[in-house]
Amino acid sequence: MTAQPFLPFALPDLGDDEIAEVVDTLKSGWITTGPKAKRFEQAFAEFLGDPQIECIAVNSATAGLHLALEAIGLGPGDEVITTTHTFTATAEVVRYLGADVKLVDIDPATMNIDIAAIEAAITPATRAILPVHYAGLAVDMLAVLDIARRHGLRVVEDAAHALPTTLEKELIGTLGSDATVFSFYANKTMTTGEGGMLVTRNPELAKRARVMRLHGMSRDAFDRFTAKVPSWYYEIVAPGFKYNLTDIAAALGLHQLKRLPAFQQRREQIAERFNDAFADLPLILPPCAPEGDTHAWHLYVVRLADDAAITRDAFIEGMFAAGIGCSVHYVPLHLHPYWRDRYGLTPEQFPQSQKAFERTVSLPLYTAMSDADVERVVQAVRGLLA
């Protein structure tokens, strides 16, 4: 019997339209930030459905978070509250600006930031809240925005997992925060290879982010090189960054965005199959979105229950032996040497995140999976735990 091929944890779902658009871009001669990046920004704004929202395409969600925090004036002496249960990019952008992070625990029911812990962490130095929509489930943003309003704080949402997540039927990205940042990394719900989108209703924030996105130039290259009259002149108005999205990447995004509703439906279908198949196992299954709302299902994260007869690490090894890749989201920030040592953090300060980490496994869930692939995952999980 021939062994089945290895099933990776994630794969992008790219079709002929994306490939043709990239080829068209290469043939056009405009491969850096240009007409397709602008089209992608416009298409993303139309997807969000709010004419007041401005979209700024960037080369990563990390870049978008950095630009958003820089645009609100974050600097040395300021603090930003965020969750320990996230990827380091969420927090590192705060340090880029010389400010400090205040890490807090998660709600064990949702794996999202603990709302009560946010309020308890506020000090006179607190400037902003940076919630993370973990795995594609919306944070209780109404509560976050209420805290921010009462304490005079800014809010920047890390929505790297949260496209097209909704909260009370409103898309993440259209709520009342100062800015929201999405990721189009290779394993996200749609991809441009590398890339992200900063969205905001604040025209001054958008203007600053656009300037800082490309070296602090007063005009970007596309505007200068396509003007109807000679317009070579520009000015550097700030020490900016190199965060622009290329047209090659935007070409992928234009078609991935069109496919996003179908992508979400397929992800939800796989998640529902997993939920049904694992209901009798010693697992804590991921929370679903409230009735009427949308979970992006970027990740399908299970936690081994107290009575599971196998450790998390042994479970992952067993899945690998069955030819299936898994991951862990995340090794929380309080366990990493930099964050641990800078802020004197211990696992006891974050009991919910620590317990989740010790039991968490992310199973493969992506739209390029066939039904047979899904059943392979089901049978492997059941074989280890049933």
Q: Is residue 2 part of a domain?
A: no
User: Does 195 share its domain with 150?
Assistant: yes
Task: Say which CATH number the domain at 268 has.
Answer: 3.90.1150.10
How is residue 191 annotated by DSSP? -
User: Does 328 share its domain with 360?
Assistant: yes
3-state helix, strand, coil in the chain (%, to 5): 40, 15, 40
User: Does 203 share its domain with 329?
Assistant: no
Written as one letter, the residue type at 250 is: A
Phi, psi values for residue 178, rounded to 5°: -70, -40
| SS3 at position 83 | strand
Residue 30 tokens, joined: 């405009």
User: Does 139 share its domain with 272?
Assistant: no
Q: How far is residue 210's CA from residue 198's CA, in Å, rounded to a whole number? A: 10
Q: Is residue 234 part of a domain?
A: yes
Question: Of 257, 279, 307, which marks where a domain is finished?
Answer: 257
| SS3 at position 199 | strand
Q: Is residue 9 part of a domain?
A: no
How many domains does the structure of the chain reveal? 2
Q: Is residue 11 part of a domain?
A: no
Q: Is residue 296 part of a domain?
A: yes
Active site includes 242? no
Instruction: Encode the chain (386 residues) as per-residue pLDDT tens digits.
Output: 458 999 999 999 999 999 999 999 999 999 999 999 999 999 999 999 999 999 999 999 999 999 999 999 999 999 999 999 999 999 999 999 999 999 999 999 999 999 999 999 999 999 999 999 999 999 999 999 999 999 999 999 999 999 999 999 999 999 999 999 999 999 999 999 999 999 999 999 999 999 999 999 987 666 666 666 667 888 999 999 999 999 999 999 999 999 999 999 999 999 999 999 999 999 999 999 999 999 999 999 999 999 999 999 999 999 999 999 999 999 999 999 999 999 999 999 999 999 999 999 999 999 999 999 999 999 999 999 98
User: Does 164 share its domain with 216?
Assistant: yes
Cα–chain center distance at 266:
19
Please name the residues in contact with 166: beta carbons below 8 A apart, sequence gap of 6 or more: 138, 172, 289, 293, 294
Q: Is residue 280 part of a domain?
A: yes
Q: What was the pLDDT predicted at 3?
A: 80
User: Does 26 share its domain with 168?
Assistant: yes
Residue 67 tokens, joined: 């630009």
The span from the first CA to the last CA of the chain, in angstroms, equals 25
User: Does 284 share its domain with 239?
Assistant: no
Domain limits for position 354: 260-385
Q: What was the pLDDT predicted at 222?
A: 62
User: Does 154 share its domain with 269?
Assistant: no
User: Does 241 share its domain with 271?
Assistant: no
Residue 153 tokens, joined: 């704080």
Question: Of 212, 239, 257, which marks where a domain is finished?
Answer: 257
Q: Is residue 364 part of a domain?
A: yes
Structure confidence by residue, pLDDT tens digits, 298-315: 999 999 999 999 999 999
Question: Of 226, 257, 288, which marks where a domain is finished?
Answer: 257
Label residue 193 exposed, middle or buried (CB < 10 Å: 0-12, 13-18, 19+).
middle
Q: Is residue 30 part of a domain?
A: yes
User: Does 194 share its domain with 95?
Assistant: yes
Task: Say which CATH number the domain at 163 has.
Answer: 3.40.640.10
User: Does 180 share its domain with 267?
Assistant: no
188, 207, 228, 242: which one is catalytic?
188
User: Does 342 share its domain with 193?
Assistant: no
